[in-house]
Amino acid sequence: MNEQKYRGIWPVMLTPFTEQKEIDWTSLERLIEWYLSAGVHGLFADCQSSEMFFLSDEESLELVKFVVKCVKGRVPVVASGHTANAFNHQREQLIKMSDTGVDAVILISNRLALAGENDALALENLQRLTLDVPKHVDLGIYECPFPYKRLLSEETVAWCAQSGRYTFIKDTCCSLPMIKRRLALTKGSRLHLANANSQTLLSSLQEGCQAYSGVMANFHPELYVWLYENFQTQPEKAQRLADYLSTAALAENLDYPVCAKSFQQQIGNFSTHTCRVRSSQGYRETFFPQAIDSMVQLGRDIQKTLAI
């Protein structure tokens, strides 16, 4: 059992669309090769950045099977597609996703109970779903902020760690004290914490966090790969790079995922910056593209300055 599998940098994959809002498979293949050429350690397919709440169940499965086929085992792949409201529909989604060839199926924390319902109910539903998903795949859980954010209770984190089934938490708490408590709860287990927050990333790695899975790996994954692989041996460079990445990550507020798709179109991976989750019309008339260009150029400059 490879306990190193869920470490490192895990981009949350975008889904490219044609102008007609159909999945653009050619662009998706280019995106996969771009991630892999940056040295990423794994891919998270069919997540919020993939616009999973705006894909049909059939599209989700087709998307993930395509990613697994293109990756050809070069890195592990995890995927969610856990979007349904009804329990039995959720169960069906997770079981079908487990047969796509992914290494782990990722549950969404806000599907486990409605906003306002208590953590005990969320944990009970998590336990029920866990029993139903075939044991040939690992499991993970993602604190997806849409349609609302449900942070995992300490009891839930501890149960996931002790279950032996869970290997991956995409952590969106954005709180270093909470991350430290979670690391203590998962110590010695198979469960790896993937921080989604760039501002706390370096500090969390220094505390023992094992992975990053955030939206900014859609702009400069190679910088995150360098930080993860060198923060212990080159701490001064790592701190300077982390200062840049922390500031650059504010760009995710500039109409994401449109801004990321526009960037991918600019570098030749995507044919459009079309989204299903929101309109991309008018994006180029805002100041956002210039801000993204500046952010990317500063990243290239710091890469040269630090000789990384």
Give the gyration radius of the chain's Cα atoms: 18
Q: Which long-range contacts (CB under 8 A, 24 or more apart) does 80-84 make?
A: 80/44, 80/46, 80/47, 80/52, 80/105, 80/106, 80/107, 80/108, 80/142, 80/144, 81/46, 81/52, 81/55, 81/57, 82/106, 82/107, 82/108, 82/111, 83/52, 83/53, 83/108, 83/111, 84/111
Q: Is residue 193 part of a domain?
A: yes
**By C-alpha distance, which of 284, 295, 221 is closest to 251?**
295
3-state secondary structure of 140: strand
End-to-end Cα spacing for the chain: 33
Q: What is the pLDDT of residue 4?
A: 80
Q: Is residue 90 part of a domain?
A: yes
In tens digits, what is the pLDDT along the chain, a chain of 308 residues?
Answer: 456 899 999 999 999 999 999 999 999 999 999 999 999 999 999 999 999 999 999 999 999 999 999 999 999 999 999 999 999 999 999 999 999 999 999 999 999 999 999 999 999 999 999 999 999 999 999 999 999 999 999 999 999 999 999 999 999 999 999 999 999 999 999 999 999 999 999 999 999 999 999 999 999 999 999 999 999 999 999 999 999 999 999 999 999 999 999 999 999 999 999 999 999 999 999 999 999 999 999 999 999 999 98
Strand ranges (E), the chain: 8-9, 43-45, 77-79, 104-108, 138-142, 166-171, 192-195, 211-212
Q: What is the pLDDT of residue 183?
A: 98
Full domain range(s) for residue 13: 8-229
3-state secondary structure of 307: coil
Q: Convert the pLDDT of each residue in 177-215 to its tens digit.
A: 999 999 999 999 999 999 999 999 999 999 999 999 999
Report how far residue 67's alpha carbon sits from residue 89's, in angstroms, rounded to the nearest whole number.
23
Report how far residue 197's alpha carbon sits from residue 204's, in angstroms, rounded to the nearest whole number.
10
Q: Is residue 77 part of a domain?
A: yes
Q: How many CB atoms lie within 10 A of CB 236?
A: 8
Which one-letter DSSP state was computed for residue 172? -
Cβ contacts of 288 within 8 Å, gap of 6 or more: 254, 255, 258, 259
Q: CB burial class (10 A; 0-12, 13-18, 19+) of residue 86?
A: exposed
Q: Is residue 274 part of a domain?
A: no
Under 8 Å between Cβ of 269 and 34: yes
Q: Is residue 244 part of a domain?
A: no
Q: Is residue 240 part of a domain?
A: no
Report how far residue 89's alpha carbon sits from residue 159's, in angstroms, rounded to the nearest whole number.
24
Q: Is residue 305 part of a domain?
A: no
- pTM equals 0.97
Consecutive H or E run containing 301: helix 288-305
Report how far residue 254's alpha carbon sits from residue 250's, in angstroms, rounded to the nearest whole number.
8
Per the structure, how many domains does the chain have?
Answer: 1
Dihedral through CA 3, CA 5, CA 6, CA 9, nearest 10?
A: 140
Q: What is the pLDDT of residue 3?
A: 62
Q: Is residue 173 part of a domain?
A: yes
CATH code: domain of residue 32? 3.20.20.70
How far does Cα 117 stand from its chain's mean position? Answer: 26
3-state secondary structure of 269: coil
